[in-house]
Structure 1
């Protein structure tokens, strides 16, 4: 594995911890990108990586993305992320969760964790037995917290409607063809909200049965995971893993808009220029998918004061996502720059790295 500072995604991270707990078998990485605005907040991804350097790169990219996401969402929090490296069988034990909680606690409040891919609310409850620096915990009805997935989905839904208005000049997604890649908690939530508004859905998931079930529920069509990136549609909404926009997929896109919740959709920053050159409107992922961190971030910040945060206040903050996207797109068009570059510049200014 190359030195961390030689990684393309190093970006002057403040702190990177590599943890191995022999007793539980835990191997994890906690990457802290910036604490300029507050404690670095970002979920924990539980995943099997074929090579160790893949886990490091994921942690670095995701933590930088959280710095940008939290800043653009108006949260007084910095950016951090953790990955827990699982074996091929995806083994995850209570002992591992407790050891991870100890590792978070050892960060002294600089890092605040929550759910991400492969993590559940129950996992965060186990982590919370060893540290208070965790959010996404069970919440009473009407309070912020719990599963961030539905809040993420709501923000993406609002962002897609804004993109359709901006690019297609339509005040509704009724009749708009939207290809949704990923039918899990976030993608499924997005699809259901769009279906209520009359969107025509094309759905794909690595779990073909999940895609078929969601299609039956929403009246959508099913495409294979190999077909979805090139299917003819108005909007492509990637809601699975990252790096799906790359040298191979971008030339094959058959859409006017890319707007989805997957983190790090652009394999590399220059792929934003390729989308821009093709006239495809791109919603920077860390802006459109901020609903989840807005929910759990404010849950944590209020909890630190011994207070509950009302879910209506969270939804009001999520409702600001379309306006942020509009300001990015307008600046992109005025300056002739891709939207990802515009968003990155805005975020860097906010975290003191402009």
Structure 2
């Protein structure tokens, strides 16, 4: 059933690229969602991404207790394309112009392929943008907040699965060592956890050496015999095939859209692998950015909101156990209730 409030698909007049903005819900307030600059086989694949991610953002905001709904911007590049600086600026300007048309019903921030500096470029065409660099009046990189929220979630997972929130001595496989995944690995190492880490970029092996972690390929890390698998790269990692090969007790990480289809949550449940819904785990970025830029909260309030991700996840696990459903179903039901 179609559930989005508004979708704009436009050929950018400056870039010539497909610009897609999907607003899923404004029931709780302004819709929020990142701007993704990514290559797709067909632009329609970018549309599918925008629809799926904007709906997940509604759930993320609702479960994070934010007065916001969900949206998404996708700038669809042709397969194999890498935009030159001029085309990149033109595409970001086009995205800003479309966002401005929505009159404040939606605001964007960084996502795959974009960062704080790109938000300045989008900001040339609209004020409805967040996570600009601190020097430009924004909150800057949201990855520290996402990483802190992820570690709070991992503590809740450890409590639910192993009876203690302490990650010390527990083993984790972190797949993806980007801005968020690298920080999560570092925080876990500082807490005394044992790590297997992986990334498609072999240069990231230096972080493994620094942390005393075992380096692996992403395929090896996915099936490592660890307590918790931590997906921290792109989505779609959990499929019927990969779930059958898992050797972990739980899966929890900041990567969005980890399940290839909703039914894969049932496969994890049937294997007694605890899955923490990704839109709960990864909420720290939007929590910290909006707290600073939109709600003007203190650092102490931001920290409390990030720590509360663990409480939300604990409630989700308790509801799932009580009602005999998967954590995915329990989280979705609670998000829908909060969003009306």
Interval of TM-score (by shorter of Structure 1 and Structure 2) = over 0.9
- Worse-matched range after superposition: 162-171 or 241-250: 162-171
Alpha-carbon separation, structure 2, partners of 1:311 and 1:336: 38
Alpha-carbon separation, structure 2, partners of 1:161 and 1:235: 11
Kindly indicate whether residue 64 of structure 2 is the aligned counterpart of residue 73 of structure 1: yes
Q: C-alpha offsets along residues 178-199 of structure 1, whole Å, 9 cap, x if unaligned?
A: 0001000010010000000111
Alpha-carbon separation, structure 2, partners of 1:17 and 1:96: 15
| Deviation for aligned residue 1:11 | 4.1
| Deviation for aligned residue 1:311 | 2.9
**Gaps in structure 1 of 5+ consecutive residues:** 1-9, 303-307
Secondary structure, in 3 states, of the residue corresponding to 1:241?
coil
| Deviation for aligned residue 1:163 | 0.8
Kindly indicate whether residue 94 of structure 2 is the aligned counterpart of residue 94 of structure 1: no
Residue 260 of structure 2, aligned match among 242, 254, 267? 267
Residue 184 of structure 1, aligned match among 168, 178, 184? 178
Superposition pairs for residues 199-348 of structure 1, below 5 Å?
A: 199-210=193-204, 212-302=205-295, 308-348=296-336
TM-score, normalization by structure 1: 0.91
Alpha-carbon separation, structure 1, partners of 2:165 and 2:58: 32
Q: C-alpha offsets along residues 149-196 of structure 1, whole Å, 9 cap, x if unaligned?
A: 110010001111121122012341111110001000010010000000
- Worse-matched range after superposition: 129-138 or 310-319: 310-319
1:156 equivalent in structure 2: 150
Alpha-carbon separation, structure 2, partners of 1:51 and 1:98: 22
Alpha-carbon separation, structure 1, partners of 2:292 and 2:34: 14
Contact 2:320 2:327 in 1 (8 A): yes
Secondary structure, in 3 states, of the residue corresponding to 1:249?
helix
Alpha-carbon separation, structure 1, partners of 2:217 and 2:316: 32
Residue 26 of structure 2, aligned match among 22, 35, 59? 35
1:112 equivalent in structure 2: 107
TM-score, normalization by structure 2: 0.95
Contact 2:130 2:138 in 1 (8 A): no
Alpha-carbon separation, structure 1, partners of 2:209 and 2:68: 40
Contact 1:144 1:310 in 2 (8 A): no
| Deviation for aligned residue 1:122 | 0.4
- Structure with the higher helix share, 1 or 2: 2
Contact 1:179 1:235 in 2 (8 A): yes
| Deviation for aligned residue 1:144 | 7.4
Contact 1:135 1:299 in 2 (8 A): no
| Deviation for aligned residue 1:117 | 0.9
Paired residue total: 336
| Deviation for aligned residue 1:218 | 1.0
**Gaps in structure 2 of 5+ consecutive residues:** none
| Deviation for aligned residue 1:23 | 2.8
Alpha-carbon separation, structure 2, partners of 1:156 and 1:112: 23
Contact 2:18 2:43 in 1 (8 A): no
2:140 equivalent in structure 1: 146
